Structure formats: structure tokens, C-alpha cells
Amino acid sequence: MDIATSIGLLVGIAVLCTLVLMGGDFRMFYDIHAVIIIFGGSFAATLIRFPLSAIIHGMPLGAKYAFTLSRLTARDLVDELARIAEVARKQGPVGLEKIEADDPFLAKGIRYIADGYDLEFIRDNLERDRDNFLMHLTEGSKIYRAIGDCAPAFGMIGTLLGMVQMFSNMSDPSKLGPFMAVALLATLYGALVANLVCLPIADKLHVKVLDEETNRTLIIDGILMIRDAKSPTLVREMLLAYLPEKHRHEEGEPVPA
């Protein structure tokens, strides 16, 4: 689980709840009209921007990866692929059938080697799998960013509607309060949806896309080298190039000058 996302969201909610309770109660900050304009309007605008299939697939995938971390880091993948290369050198491709990998993408590559598929088939299928996954994850990021962009705008629309209704009923003081509440709460809801939820998730997904692209490309290169019967030492040294310089050496191992 990605603790940073969860902690950030919980802290944000706790801060808001504290401020609300210090100045009254939650009933003061709820208005069904503001909810309708923010969530209904944002949903409608998102439907116009994206195909329905992209929304159905991208939003759940984005939410999943915003709150989860990869099973293996890039450094773990380098060590794992070097270990797999050692097994392949000693036992041949058949020996890989007994290896169980935590990463599904890595497990697929191992299965391709164990089943004896040729190099080009493995490359084409893994690259296509990687590109499709990154495309859907990027769609999720774009959808959350689109909602974050339009939520404040619909908050402003709600504010304008509330102001129009308020000025149209100046003769009836009893209606001024509810219309003013709609005006202010719509802006509040729009700002919260955008800045506490959607835009942070979009930025987090952008980071996850870059991480997943690196990890999956690293796996593809490692699998192809293992299929090509490269030595474990060569596999490790080639894949270490994917890591930042300070992460290429184990703790306690001297770093070359």
C-alpha cells in the first residue's frame, strides 16, 4: 500500500473536519444543490472529454495504483533477474518452470522463456503489454486531472447561480441565506475535490507511470538477455544502468569514484 497517499488524504480530511467542528457542525457545510452542481457537472464534462470505456477502465485503475506500490523496486528486479539468469544458466529454460515471481509481468516473461518462445515473439508481446498498460494508466491520470480542472470551474458556476437566485429574491429575506450557502459551498466543494483529491491523484499517477515504464522496460531487457543466454553477471551489470548511481551498489559496497 502507498502509505503517502493514504496519510495525505487522511491528514487533509482531519484538518478540514477539525476546522469545521471548531466553528459549528457538519450540517452547516452540506448543501444538496452544491453537491449536484459540482459532482454532476464535473461528471458530465468528463464524459464529454473522454470515451465512456476510458472512464470505466481508467478511473478504477488510477485509484488502484494511486494507493498501491509496485511489488518489487527496480533494485529488487535487477537482483531477481540476475538470480533467474543464474538458474537458466545452470538448469536451462526448463529450470525456470519452478520459479515463482511476485510481479505478474515478470512471471509472464519467465513463462515465455520456459515455453521456448523465440526472441522476437517475447519482445513484441512484452512491449505491447507494457505499452497498453501504460496507456491505460496515463488515461487514468488524465481523467483525474480533467476532473480536478473542471471542479473549481463548476464551483464558480454554482456560485454564480446562487448569486443570481439570491439577487432575484431580495424581497424575501428568508431565501437569502440558502442561496448564499449554495454560492459559497459550491466554490468550497470544487476547491476540495480538485486540490485534495483529483489533482494530487493525477500527479501521483504521473509518477507511477514513469516508475512502471522503467520497471517494465527493465524486465523486458532482462528477459531478453536471459533468453539470449547471457551470463548472470552481464545481466546484472546491464540492468544496473536503469538505477540512479547511488542505488547501483549494495549497502556497504564501495562506490566507484
Residue numbers in the chain where pLDDT is lower than 50: 251-257
What is the per-residue pLDDT for 248?
65
Cβ neighbours of residue 79 closer than 8 Å, sequence gap 6 or more: 236
Tell me how crowded residue 42 is: count the other CB atoms within 10 A of its CB. Answer: 25
What is the per-residue pLDDT for 250?
59
Nearest CA-CA partner of 122 in 242, 235, 224, 251: 224
3-state helix, strand, coil in the chain (%, to 5): 80, 0, 20
User: For the purposes of burial, counting CB atoms within 10 Å of the CB of 245, is it exposed (0-12), middle (13-18) or buried (19 or more)?
Assistant: exposed
What is the per-residue pLDDT for 154?
93
